[in-house]
Every structure is written in C-alpha cells, then in structure tokens.
Amino acid sequence: MNNMELRILVYIISLLFWTSCSSEKEDYVPITENAKLEFTVPANFPEPSYNVTLNPPTEKGFELGKKLFYDGRLASDGVISCGFCHIQDFAFTHHTHIVSHGVNGALGTRNAQPLHNMAFMKEFTWDGAAIHLDLQPIIPITAEVEMNETFTGIIKKLEEQPEYVKLFAEAFEDQKINSDNMLKAISQFMIMMISANTKYDKVERNEGSVFTEQESAGLELFKSKCASCHQGTLFTDQSYRNNGLPIDPEYNDVGRKRVTGLEEDIYKFKVPSLRNIELTFPYMHDGRLKTLEDVLNHYSDGMVDSRTLDPIFKSQNNIKGIPMTTEEKQLIIAFLKTLTDDDFLNDDRFSEF
C-alpha cells in the first residue's frame, strides 16, 4: 500500500467511523423521556375528584411542581414560597402562625390549611372560593397579603433560569413556560401528596395494627358525635357549616357567604379533614384555638347560637353543642391522634431538600 492509498484508507475508515457515530447520534433520543408516575388510590379511599387523566402526574411534571412550590420567585419579594406557609412537618400548615403571613410581613385573615389528599377534594379554601385545584394557587400568588405577584412577573423570572427552561420543556409537550403549565405542574405535585398511612388506615385495611382500648372507645364516641360532618376516610363531608364559633370582631369573616352572597351561608366554613390534626394547630379558620382540648371544650361549652348554627348542635334537648365529659374528650383525642401519618410527614418526595 502506498502512502496515498494508506491515506485514502484512513480517510475511508474514519469516514465510516464518523458516519456510524453520527447515525448512532440520529437514533439517539435525548433523555427527555418523561415517565408517568403511579397515582394509586388507597384501598379505603373514595374515587378522586381531580380528573387525573387530564393532567397525569409525570416524573418531570412532579419535579417541576415541587420546585415551583418551594421557590420564592413566585412571590414579589422572592422569599414567600408556597412551602413557606405550607410546611411538611406540620402536614403543610404554617406552624405557629395563627393567620397566614405573606410578603413583607403582611398578615392574612385565615389559618393556612393542611395540604394532603387534595386530589379527593371538590372545592378549596375555607369558603370554597376555588372550585378546581389547578386554579387554587392563583389566589395566594396574586393576593396582596400573600405572594403579591403576577403570572407575567413570575414567567419572566422563570424564563431567565436555564433549569426551568429545561424542566418545562421536559415536562410538557408544548415545552412552554406559561401559567397553564405552571399550574398543572403544581397540581401534579399536590395530587401526589396522599396521606393514607395512619394507624387508623392500617386498622381499617387490616394491616396488622390494632387500636388500644382508649382509641377504640374514642372512635365510637367520634362516630356518634363528630362523624356526621367529619365523615368517612377523608374526615369531611366537604360541606359548609357553622360550628358555633363566636364571631371574631377583628375580621368578622363571613365565610361561605363571601362566595355565594347568600345570607343563609353567613359564618359557614368548610368542614376540615381531621387527618394529621395533632400537628395542624392552631385550629379553626382563623387559628383561634390552640389545642385539641380547646376544640373539644368549644364543642361542649363554647358554642354561640346564631341563625346559621348547624341544627345538629341544637337538637340535643335544646342544649347547644355536644355534651361530653372530660373523660370522653380525652378518649376522642386519643382517637384523633391515630390520624397522624408519619410516613407522609417524612416522605422525602415532598420535602424541599
């Protein structure tokens, strides 16, 4: 082989090598494969209200939703993220804060609600102002006393972050950074937040746990005195009721009437789920009660009559409230503590770090 031939051969080999490489490159699909996450309804739960098929949680969508949830860029001051007011250790409530605390120390008028089992809820917030989970975050994002931002403002900030450009592109087919995709991603994160591994659940599903005598007695009392409103495995019938709290002169929060405009809805609030209740103190829509003892004392002795007070509280021999002995209250509290879900509270999938 002469020099020329050798060079041609080297050239051909390198060409072959190069084309084989490049053809490999053409077949090579970039790693944007976005696996679907498994959304499993626990055996003792009802069907979800959220239509999961319209926004199926995916690995990248969830990752994006979580990043947004913990990102102060969603607020005008760059600090107040969703996670600022919704802290995982306390079932995503704002521990120690009676009412919410937003940008520049602005105070809201309501106690931050826990975030768990959102996929099973039909309406959101204490008065049902949000009728779809995808729309709920618009309220805190734009509220002056919460995050005080605009979607245009947030999108501008996100577009400057290569990490977000990449994540939006991987998570959604149209690859766009827009409010629709933002809200979908946050929902994907929130619908995966299922709390269904409490002692109560394990007893209900026959998974080897057994109630103590006290817890069993507490459950029986709970069924007869509380479960008409705090119903089923979600511990709420999702209705709006007036449970007899004295009117708060500071805010005079009219509750459900704010949404419907109806006089008959004044001072009614959404029946809250009691899951993880041990950790979501302080209690009630304005966080006025500090402990579970305070709550039970309210039901037995603190109730104030009004036109919209729930009839359940009036029916018992004209005595307002739910008569209970101190011992019965302790038993109910023992039962309520079986609704704490340590697996959920410590689930790394939902933590910031």
The token pair at 84 is 């600022």
Indicate the residue among 205 and 288 with the shorter CB distance to ligand HEC: 288
* Cα 21 to Cα 19: distance, rounded to the nearest angstrom: 5
CB of 228 to ligand HEC, least distance (A): 5
DSSP string, 237-269: ---EEB--PPP-TTT---BTHHHH--GGGTTBE
The answer on whether 85 is annotated among ligand-binding residues is yes
DSSP letter assigned to residue 99: S
Cβ-contact 284, 251 below 8 angstroms: no
Indicate the residue among 136 and 195 with the shorter CB distance to ligand HEC: 136
DSSP string, 309-331: B-GGGTTTTT--S----HHHHHH
Amino acid at 303: M
* Cα 181 to Cα 207: distance, rounded to the nearest angstrom: 39
Indicate the residue among 42 and 302 with the shorter CB distance to ligand HEC: 302
* Cα 254 to Cα 266: distance, rounded to the nearest angstrom: 5
Indicate the residue among 121 and 219 with the shorter CB distance to ligand HEC: 121
Contact footprint for ligand HEC (CB under 6 A): 69, 74, 80, 82, 84-86, 100-102, 108, 110, 112-113, 115, 118, 121, 124-126, 136-137, 140-141, 146-147, 186, 225-226, 228-230, 241, 243, 245, 269, 271-272, 274, 277, 280, 283-285, 295, 299, 310, 312, 322, 332
Residue where the block lists tokens 């697996």: 343
* Cα 200 to Cα 180: distance, rounded to the nearest angstrom: 37
Indicate the residue among 186 and 203 with the shorter CB distance to ligand HEC: 186
Instruction: Give the total residue count for the chain.
Output: 353
Q: Provide the sign of the torsion angle of the four alpha carbons 155, 158, 163, 165, taken in this order.
A: positive
Which SS3 state, helix, strand or coil, does residue 131 take?
coil
Indicate the residue among 6 and 125 with the shorter CB distance to ligand HEC: 125
Indicate the residue among 58 and 136 with the shorter CB distance to ligand HEC: 136
> Which neighbouring-strand residues pair with 93?
87
CB of 273 to ligand HEC, least distance (A): 7
CB of 340 to ligand HEC, least distance (A): 13
CB of 93 to ligand HEC, least distance (A): 8
The answer on whether 229 is annotated among ligand-binding residues is yes
CB of 28 to ligand HEC, least distance (A): 37
The token pair at 8 is 């041609």
The token pair at 290 is 């500090």
Which SS3 state, helix, strand or coil, does residue 232 take?
coil
The answer on whether 132 is annotated among ligand-binding residues is no
CB of 52 to ligand HEC, least distance (A): 16
CB of 322 to ligand HEC, least distance (A): 5
Residue numbers belonging to the annotated binding site for heme c: 82, 85-86, 226, 229-230
Residue numbers belonging to the annotated binding site: 82, 85-86, 226, 229-230
